A and B are shown apart, each in its own frame.
Chain A
Amino acid sequence: MAIHLNRRTMLALAGAGAVSLATPLAAQDTELRLAFIPQENPEKLLGDIEAITGWLSEQIGVPVEGFVTIDHAAAVEALRNGDADISFMGALPFVLAEAEIGAVPLLSEVYRGAPSYTGRIFVRRDSGIDGLADLRGHNIAFADPISESGYLYPLAEFVEAGLVEGPGAAEEFFGRVFFAGGYQQAMQAMAEGLVDAAGASQYADLLLTPEQQAEVTWIAESKPIPSHLVIARAALDAALRDRFTDAMMQLNEPENRDKLRYLYGPDGYVRADPAAYHGVRDMARRYGLLE
């Protein structure tokens, strides 16, 4: 699904960022600023943010403000300079932010009972492709070059199988490697026969039509990938950080679950385990993204 970030919105948000840079930080322990990464139509996200920050403010007892950043890098920058106290973040950007600014993991998202998911290699059922080796010389579509489940982890399966020498050598094994721009685009390209395989999240086939879903299958699955998380800047007051985390954990209660849809719609949250992200740190090093 597309990110409908239009130029006007981006300008407005950039403008808001510029203004907040000049905002004094004196009130940092008496309010919380949350950075959101756009995943879908920012117009909808803005409405969602208003709904969830209002509720969080009631729970925590300090004003809570939310704003949308342009991307992960901007969110990390906001954490670095104190513009944001908390941010929602993918696992890979988190480990990079951890290395760069000492960001702290607070909560991990839960989907279908687990704070992790996998990447898979999908093919059409009638393709005659049964294993990774069958894809030699064939075309594949991935989501984008820094997607955990849509590139890094699925490609690692080819490396493990001894088919691809390492990151950067994928072109030598495959015919063509495309970055389609997202899971859905990669899966559509495969389902429509434009490419022979797609590397995407384990749930990405559910983005296809019901008829297409029946026509595709998967031939390899990656190691578990820790799910997206909520992180804080290192210097955030510990008591305030705990109150925020406790409030977020309240979202797991039946009476609050309806509010999860304002937060990218996970099934719930668990307290983050920093050790759970070792695998992502290793993966980032293998791909030369982390020293």
Chain B
Amino acid sequence: MRNVMRVLLAALANALVLSGPVAATPAKEAPWLPEAAAYRLTLFLGNLAPLPWDDFETTWTEPYRGSEFSTGAVEWLDRESDIEPDGLLDAMMREDRQAVFAEATQLIALRIEEELDRALAAEESATAQQAVRTARELYRAFEDGIAAADPEAARRIGLAWLELNSSTGFSGVLGAGSTSADRETMEAARTVISGYLAENYLLDSFAPRRTLSGLPETAVLSGRTIEVPPSLPPGSDIFDQDPLPRLVLNFEEQGIDETDLPLVAYGDMLFDSAQIFGSPARDLGITCSTCHNRSDINQRLFIPGASHQPGAIDVDGAFFNPTFNDRRDDPLDIPSLRGLRFTGPYGRDGRFASLRDFTRNVIVNEFGGNEPTPFMLDALVAYMLEFDFLPNSMLTSDGRLTDVAPEATRRGEEIFNTPFAGLGDRSCASCHVPDANFLDREAHDIGSVEPGYEGARVGALDTPTLLGTAYTAPYFHDGSLPTLAAVVDWFDETKSLGLTGTERADLTAYLETVGAADEPYEAFDAENTAFRLAFSELTTFASTLDTLLPLRDAEHILLLTDTVAADLAADASTMSNLTARPEVYALAERLAEVGAAVRVEDWAAAEASWTAFKSEADAIEERAF
């Protein structure tokens, strides 16, 4: 017997990402069994170029990231199954992609068969139920492929699982309410499942795969073009950082309402819109703010094969836009966008002088989106230029310590301003200029970049600001240093600064003070929830319709309604006020109606739906938490 509340709480607390269609709000899914997880990761990694062979091995030998199981698939199989993974391990050693795919696919199919055998042979209904449950979970490894290729078969098999589960018998409670197994029905349901596996997955050889997926063999052999919805593999995490960084917008601090700044509000919407990117980012609900939560960073973001550690991502790898794949495994620690108008040029090496050019590169090249319109780029830039640094009462606006700063930081400040021979007779402050937001807008090679080839002169990186850095660990372009103290140690050692232990501690204290903030994170409570924040943002985005509808600007209206209506409905799943959820769904539909009317150029209907949306949103606002 299950307790949904327990499961639910566990579900909400966990951090896995759901595969499937557009996911504005990432959803937790049930944990994957170790071998099913390893299979899905194998498919994912097998589509990267160059193939990350080292990762394949760990995929099968170690638990996937965030797994609730302490063992990897190979050890798990050793405990749970009579099936030997030798053929798979051998294929990985030979670095034979097609053989790895074939062996792994057969292995999962065999495991399903093994569990079905156990279910049929079990004398106790509890044992049989467990075996059916395990088999069903392993089937998930193929499920999206079957659903994409053959919806009718997916339905037939889905019903077979229901039949199988229902006919397996139940042990009841303390002997009361028990039912016995209906073997005939079990056999019939099993035949449906096993027949499909035999035809499509339990094969001696498979047609060569250009793209690895869970598609059934018969569908591949048919030559039809079948799109399997993009999914992230087990271990991925695109949830928002928790606690959520506080967003400081210049206009907002001055008391100006964003609804009075339509260009900024539209840019704000685009910053949260997956629609501006191409697939797979768009289908996975990945937006600018997925990485740059609230203008800052997302320390938990992790995508296997693209991230070497949480908070880092390789945006020019094989996954997001194969055309832009630079074939170099060089994930970068996600940089904060706070104070963006003072931090140009852009990119870790400052390769883009213009924020507009940089933004276009992100949309078109890194994430495979269509060419943005000039209006979209103007809006995004207008919005991002509002990102301010976090207020810090320990620092004056020209970078000096205030009276409330701790004593040790003053000694640290002195060291910070002291020239060292190892720094070419410069001080830390020479580059991290205190009265210039602790940066100098220049690129320097400090020896932190591993040269890609002998004689390379490509190690110069843009000086990063030190403001707000107390909350953006780890440090350096590759996130190789975990703490500010480690950064101090690195400079002391590599630049022979000769600091004593006390001096290093003082310098660290100074950096922590410079990098501090009065309120670094959003504060939520029972009614001031993350959903309330989302509701406020989404209705603000929608307010740009007041500008766009009179202009009859269909293109930008549809981008807005498609983004915001879907986000509003998806975000409703995070509400704590569950009774108000239906109202939010209805409100989302109202916005979708605006889009539907614009699509058929019925401007009067669009205006009417928009007017209705505004009054309904006002009515719901109080309950929107």
In the complex the two chains form, is B133's CB within 8 Å of A181's CB?
A: yes
Residue of chain A at shortest CB distance from B175: A73
Residues of B within 8 A of A40 (CB): 6-7, 10, 68
Q: Does B170 contact A (CB under 8 A)?
A: yes
In the complex the two chains form, is A214's CB within 8 Å of B572's CB?
A: yes
Q: How far is the CA of A90 from the CA of B176 in the complex (A)?
A: 14
Residue of chain A at shortest CB distance from B155: A194
Q: How far is the CA of A93 from the CA of B10 in the complex (A)?
A: 22
Residue of chain A at shortest CB distance from B118: A7
Q: How far is the CA of A193 from the CA of B156 in the complex (A)?
A: 11
| Shortest Cβ distance from residue A130 to the other chain B in the assembled complex, whole angstroms | 14
**Residues A3 and B133 in contact in the complex (CB < 8 Å), given A72-B174, A178-B165, A210-B571:** yes
Residues of B within 8 A of A93 (CB): 1, 173-174
In the complex the two chains form, is A41's CB within 8 Å of B68's CB?
A: yes
In the complex the two chains form, is B570's CB within 8 Å of A6's CB?
A: no
Q: Does A235 contact B (CB under 8 A)?
A: no
| Shortest Cβ distance from residue B353 to the other chain A in the assembled complex, whole angstroms | 40
Q: Does A277 contact B (CB under 8 A)?
A: no
In the complex the two chains form, is B170's CB within 8 Å of A201's CB?
A: no
Cβ 8 A contact of A289, one of B136, B171, B173:
B173
In the complex the two chains form, is A90's CB within 8 Å of B159's CB?
A: no
Cβ 8 A contact of B3, one of A39, A144, A192, A209:
A39
In the complex the two chains form, is A90's CB within 8 Å of B5's CB?
A: no
In the complex the two chains form, is B573's CB within 8 Å of A207's CB?
A: no
| Shortest Cβ distance from residue A10 to the other chain B in the assembled complex, whole angstroms | 8
In the complex the two chains form, is A71's CB within 8 Å of B177's CB?
A: no
Segment with Cβ contacts to B, from A53-61, A158-166, A182-190, A240-248 = A182-190
Q: Does A28 contact B (CB under 8 A)?
A: no
Residue of chain A at shortest CB distance from B68: A41
Residue of chain B at shortest CB distance from A41: B68
| Shortest Cβ distance from residue B146 to the other chain A in the assembled complex, whole angstroms | 12
| Shortest Cβ distance from residue B570 to the other chain A in the assembled complex, whole angstroms | 4
Q: Does B24 contact A (CB under 8 A)?
A: yes
| Shortest Cβ distance from residue A187 to the other chain B in the assembled complex, whole angstroms | 9
In the complex the two chains form, is B585's CB within 8 Å of A39's CB?
A: no
Q: Residue among B3, B9, B24, B132 with the most chain A CB within 10 A?
A: B3
Q: Does A272 contact B (CB under 8 A)?
A: no
Q: Which of B291-341 contact A (CB under 8 A)?
A: none
Q: Does B61 contact A (CB under 8 A)?
A: no
In the complex the two chains form, is A2's CB within 8 Å of B133's CB?
A: yes
User: Does more than half of chain B's interface fall in helix, strand or loop, or is it mixed?
Assistant: helix
Residues of A within 8 A of B170 (CB): 144-146, 179
Cβ 8 A contact of A194, one of B1, B20, B130, B158:
B158
Q: How far is the CA of A177 from the CA of B162 in the complex (A)?
A: 10
Q: How far is the CA of A192 from the CA of B161 in the complex (A)?
A: 13
Residues of A within 8 A of B265 (CB): none
Q: Which of B87-138 contact A (CB under 8 A)?
A: 126, 129-130, 132-134, 136-137
**Residues A72 and B1 in contact in the complex (CB < 8 Å), given A40-B10, A194-B158:** yes
Q: Which of B4-56 contact A (CB under 8 A)?
A: 4-13, 18, 20-25, 27, 30-31, 33
| Shortest Cβ distance from residue B124 to the other chain A in the assembled complex, whole angstroms | 10
How many residues of B are counted as interface, with CB atoms below 8 angstroms from the partner's CB atoms? 64
Cβ 8 A contact of A210, one of B11, B24, B171, B175:
B24
In the complex the two chains form, is B174's CB within 8 Å of A96's CB?
A: yes
Q: Does B386 contact A (CB under 8 A)?
A: no
In the complex, per-residue mask of B559-578: 1 if CB is within 8 Å of any chain A CB, else 0: 00000000001111110001
| Shortest Cβ distance from residue B414 to the other chain A in the assembled complex, whole angstroms | 41
Residues of A within 8 A of B163 (CB): 178
In the complex the two chains form, is A183's CB within 8 Å of B174's CB?
A: no
Q: How far is the CA of A210 from the CA of B179 in the complex (A)?
A: 35
In the complex the two chains form, is A183's CB within 8 Å of B162's CB?
A: no
Q: Does A68 contact B (CB under 8 A)?
A: no
**Residues A211 and B1 in contact in the complex (CB < 8 Å), given A100-B174, A180-B162, A185-B165:** no
Q: Does A87 contact B (CB under 8 A)?
A: no
Q: How far is the CA of A99 from the CA of B397 in the complex (A)?
A: 73
In the complex the two chains form, is A203's CB within 8 Å of B569's CB?
A: no
In the complex the two chains form, is A194's CB within 8 Å of B173's CB?
A: no
Residue of chain A at shortest CB distance from B19: A209
In the complex the two chains form, is A1's CB within 8 Å of B11's CB?
A: yes
Q: Does B2 contact A (CB under 8 A)?
A: yes
Q: How far is the CA of A173 from the CA of B173 in the complex (A)?
A: 26
Q: Residue among A71, A146, A189, A289 with the most chain B CB within 10 A?
A: A146
Q: How far is the CA of A214 from the CA of B550 in the complex (A)?
A: 31
Segment with Cβ contacts to B, from A18-26, A249-257, A259-267 = A259-267
In the complex the two chains form, is B174's CB within 8 Å of A207's CB?
A: no
In the complex the two chains form, is A4's CB within 8 Å of B69's CB?
A: yes
Q: Does A106 contact B (CB under 8 A)?
A: no
In the complex the two chains form, is B162's CB within 8 Å of A4's CB?
A: no
Q: Does B588 contact A (CB under 8 A)?
A: yes
In the complex the two chains form, is A195's CB within 8 Å of B162's CB?
A: yes
Q: Does A149 contact B (CB under 8 A)?
A: yes
**Residues A146 and B177 in contact in the complex (CB < 8 Å), given A1-B30, A8-B79, A210-B570:** yes
Q: How far is the CA of A76 from the CA of B11 in the complex (A)?
A: 28
In the complex the two chains form, is B3's CB within 8 Å of A43's CB?
A: no
Q: How far is the CA of A58 from the CA of B20 in the complex (A)?
A: 47
In the complex, per-residue mask of B149-172: 1 if CB is within 8 Å of any chain A CB, else 0: 000000100110011011000111
Residue of chain A at shortest CB distance from B172: A146
Residue of chain B at shortest CB distance from A193: B155
Q: How far is the CA of A8 from the CA of B70 in the complex (A)?
A: 14
| Shortest Cβ distance from residue B307 to the other chain A in the assembled complex, whole angstroms | 23
Residue of chain A at shortest CB distance from B14: A1
Residue of chain A at shortest CB distance from B588: A214
**Residues A265 and B171 in contact in the complex (CB < 8 Å), given A72-B1, A204-B4, A214-B569:** no
Q: How far is the CA of A4 from the CA of B20 in the complex (A)?
A: 24
In the complex the two chains form, is A180's CB within 8 Å of B174's CB?
A: no
Q: Does A219 contact B (CB under 8 A)?
A: no
Q: Does A227 contact B (CB under 8 A)?
A: yes
**Residues A1 and B10 in contact in the complex (CB < 8 Å), given A90-B3, A96-B174, A146-B173:** yes
Q: Which of B569-599 contact A (CB under 8 A)?
A: 569-574, 578, 581-582, 585, 588
Cβ 8 A contact of B5, one of A97, A266, A289:
A266
| Shortest Cβ distance from residue A176 to the other chain B in the assembled complex, whole angstroms | 9
Residue of chain A at shortest CB distance from B22: A211
**Residues A264 and B569 in contact in the complex (CB < 8 Å), given A6-B79, A207-B8, A290-B176:** no
Residues of B within 8 A of A266 (CB): 5-6, 9
In the complex the two chains form, is B1's CB within 8 Å of A111's CB?
A: no
Residue of chain A at shortest CB distance from B132: A181
**Residues A183 and B173 in contact in the complex (CB < 8 Å), given A6-B80, A145-B179, A207-B7:** no
Residues of A within 8 A of B165 (CB): 178-181, 185
In the complex the two chains form, is A189's CB within 8 Å of B162's CB?
A: yes
Residue of chain B at shortest CB distance from A77: B174
Q: Which residues does B use to contact A, with CB under 8 Å? A: 1-13, 18, 20-25, 27, 30-31, 33, 68-70, 79-80, 126, 129-130, 132-134, 136-137, 155, 158-159, 162-163, 165-166, 170-177, 179, 569-574, 578, 581-582, 585, 588
New A-B contacts (14) at CB < 8 Å, excluding given A193-B155, A214-B570:
A2-B31, A39-B2, A76-B174, A145-B170, A178-B162, A181-B133, A181-B165, A192-B158, A209-B20, A210-B572, A217-B582, A284-B176, A287-B177, A288-B176
Lowest 10 A-B CB distances belong to which pairs? A201-B4, A265-B9, A210-B570, A210-B573, A289-B176, A264-B6, A214-B569, A41-B68, A178-B162, A210-B25
A-B contact pairs, 14 of them (CB 8 A): A2-B133, A4-B33, A4-B134, A39-B7, A43-B68, A179-B166, A181-B165, A182-B2, A184-B30, A207-B8, A210-B24, A213-B581, A227-B5, A290-B176
